[in-house]
Amino acid sequence: MQVSLSGKTALVTGASRGIGRAIAKRLADAGANIAFTYKASEEKAHALQQELTSLGVKALALKADAVSFSEAQTVVDKTLSAFGSVHILVNNAGITRDTLLMRMSEAQWDEVIANNLKSAFNYTKAVTRSMMQQREGRIINITSIIGLVGNAGQANYAASKAGLIGFTKAIAKELASRNILANAVAPGWIDTEMTDALADELKKQMEASIPLKRSGTAEEVANAVLFLASPLASYITGECLRVDGGMAM
């Protein structure tokens, strides 16, 4: 079955590279107009915008700091002005600042919580009013299996991603009466620019621990997002869908 998002508008945060980029491309390929944010990678953002428009949809690249609520509101306002509505919000922006807790600075803790968790609050709050008025919306938060199982050296990241899952369930209950569905996607070990920089031996060890014996792709995460954004998931809300090859079983 071919999934169509024709006539819909999606806003994807942190989409200039990696999983966010794959999500923006997959939703555009299904026919959605795309607004997306980036923080620093201006050249990559403009390249993505051109790539999206070549698929026959409208695309809008917006520079913003996900930590800032005022900038999030400005992004949503500009998206509404350009496209008239936001049907799908994908909260993907996030960072890592890995180190053992005993060495972790307050700044490293605060930075990760702000970028990974507060950013989702910022954008969700900014789009909620318009989604409630149109009585339709999909909010999809990109969490991680680390938020489910934890990981040494990632206390800040694990806390932020676990918080996203709780946030997802809470807003799912708050917004369901207005036909706004909220779900989370929890990727496992995914091939991205971030993992490319790791030592080959570490990659082999990680892949050996996965039941499917391979890393996942950003496109496989994007497919899960497309499913949750589509009419195929019209009776699913408050769920956390793992895309991890069985890693967190």
Residues marked as catalytic: 157
How far is residue 196's CA from residue 23's CA, in Å, rounded to a whole number? 19
How far is residue 26's CA from residue 34's CA, in Å, rounded to a whole number? 10
Contact 30, 110 (CB under 8 A): no
- Number of Cβ atoms within 10 Å of the Cβ of 225: 28
245 three-class SS: coil
87, 120, 90: which is closest to 24 by C-alpha?
90
- Number of Cβ atoms within 10 Å of the Cβ of 191: 16
Residue with tokens 């390929």: 29
